[in-house]
Amino acid sequence: MYYKKIVILSLFSIFTLVGCNSSDTPSQENKGKPNIINPDDSGTSDPDDEITSISFDKEMTKTLINAPLYIGNRKLYASKNGKILVVADRGDSVTVNVFKKQKNGWSLVKQITSNDRVFATKISINNDGSYLFISSPYEDSNYIENSGAVHIYKNNGNTFHLEQTLTNNSIKRNGNFGSDISISDDGNILAISADQNKRSNDKHGGVFLYEKNLNSNTWVFSNEINGNSEDAYFGSHIELNGDGNKLLVSNLSTHLYLIDSPTSKSKPLQTIQVESMSDIAFNRDGTVFAYSNYEIDESVTIYTLEDNIYKKHPLSNPISNSFFNTHPGYQFARQIELSEDGTTLLASASHDHYEPPTSTLVKDFNLESLLTKIEECPPRYGSSSKISTGAVIAYEMDKEDNSWKVKQYIKPNLSEIRKYNKKDICNQNFVDGYKGERKVIEQISFTILNDSIIASTINGNLFEYKNLASK
């Protein structure tokens, strides 16, 4: 059992995407519950900003948008209208930073900290950024240990306030309500899994659907979906399509289920057998979905609706293992995202250590031909020390044959992030005298906004990638 502390702050800061910790200690009876502090906030929002649509047919520009105060592992989320960015800094404690797009950059308007290292395991934001959903699967709710909860925050202009906390009376001890969460684009349908909840047949897992009551602006339980008798950890991954009328649910590692009308009839449409799963993605209307498997073969499998049937399109690692030739592998597709229309898929490559070419566009869809130089520290220690800043790789669907081809290779400029605390990352005393590879802690993270992509890289830095595509 973890001791949990959550502190929520509202504040204003431009460009500084960093977290902080609080010394406030809640009483045991409030363990895991939010303690809200809302200082006066300021700042000028710009609701009339024009938002262009990102184009993967055009070269991306790169902008470093923060200078971190510490080395951290970050997970990114954003509203699709490009107005709200959430950065979850993870370590022994968790800080959730909420930023709002202003005329002069990103301003920090809310900060939530917790010493529960599994707080904010999952975060969702609806399309216009009006609601933020944060899971706390190990929170002690209803006096039941690790039963879990989901906290809903409302955007009230220049800050976010806690609007509702969802728990479920059917969740048993260690049930972990909030193992995963997913929200429809309009925010009216919310799916929450409890993948370790024990049912009467002694199997684990379940998915709970909630619908928004438009009169009270609260989310009300509407349906529960349980797996087959052989399923364990049903709800390990869940994903609603943007319209909220289809739901993807996986168990721990053997099956992925496509479910129609999840809030009521819950009709199974298709069952897919899988070996392992890292991430799943859905487009808005439910005509395209995908899952990744970076642990076994670093692959992505895409399904597209063709003639009323979902057809399979395997998508392999963009570079071969023999080309990369470095343990423990490229770490391709630990995270994947689909564009709203389902024609573009983005996949992470956390261990990418190549120097990016001048253009982000991949000529002739051949990525290996562009990777001619490795980014590394001088081989002062007997062998070279690679610098793995990671990459985001964009695939685009060829509408003629529904095949998928590499279109963009998106990487940061190492020259802008070589130093940390005024010390070059190749300095032998940079990290406790460590002399090996410099790399992203755990994995990179990225999120798609309407007009840009924001991705994390080494030392917790964030880059924004965008182009000048017309609306």
The whole-number pLDDT of residue 236 equals 94
CB of 455 closer than 8 Å to CB of 410: yes
Give the Cβ contact number of residue 311 at 10 Å. 11
The parent domain of residue 348 ranges over 6-466
pLDDT of residue 471: 40
The per-residue pLDDT for 409 is: 97
The two counts, helices (H) then strands (E), for the chain are: 1, 35
Residue 19 lies in a domain: yes
Q: Are 227 and 257 in contact (CB under 8 A)?
A: yes
Cβ partners under 8 Å of residue 202, min gap 6 = none
Residue 215 forms part of a structural domain = yes
* CA atoms of 59 and 395, how far apart (whole Å): 14
Report yes or no on 304 lying in a domain. yes
Q: Is residue 93 part of a domain?
A: yes
CATH number of the domain within which 35 lies: 2.130.10.10
Q: Is 220 inside a domain boundary? A: yes
Task: Identify the pLDDT of residue 178.
Answer: 96
471: in domain? no
CB atoms within 10 A of CB 397: 21
Give the pLDDT score at 153. 96
pTM of the model: 0.86
pLDDT recorded at residue 368: 94
Half-sphere exposure of 385 (CA within 13 A, CB side): 17
Q: Is residue 1 part of a domain?
A: no
Beta bridge partners of 193: 180, 207
Distance between CA 187 and CA 129 in Å, rounded?
9
How many distinct structural domains can be found in the chain?
1
The Cα–Cα gap between 426 and 421 comes to: 13
pLDDT at residue 37 in the model: 33
- What pLDDT is stored for residue 450 in this prediction? 85
Closest of 86, 92, 94 to residue 113, by C-alpha: 94
How confident is the prediction along the chain (471 residues), in pLDDT tens digits per residue?
443 445 544 443 433 443 333 333 323 333 444 433 333 344 334 444 444 578 899 999 999 987 555 556 789 999 999 999 999 988 778 899 999 998 888 889 999 988 887 899 999 999 999 999 999 999 998 888 999 999 999 999 889 999 999 999 989 998 899 999 999 999 999 999 999 898 766 668 999 999 999 999 999 999 999 887 777 899 999 999 999 999 999 998 789 999 999 999 788 899 999 888 899 999 999 999 999 998 888 899 999 999 999 999 998 789 988 888 776 688 899 999 999 999 999 999 999 999 999 999 998 889 999 999 999 887 766 667 888 999 999 999 988 888 899 999 999 999 988 877 677 877 755 555 555 667 776 688 999 998 899 999 987 889 999 986 444
Residue 419 lies inside a defined structural domain of this protein: yes
For residue 28, give the 3-state DSSP assignment: helix
Predicted pLDDT of residue 304: 96
Question: What are 447's strand-pairing partners?
Answer: 454
pLDDT value of position 432: 53
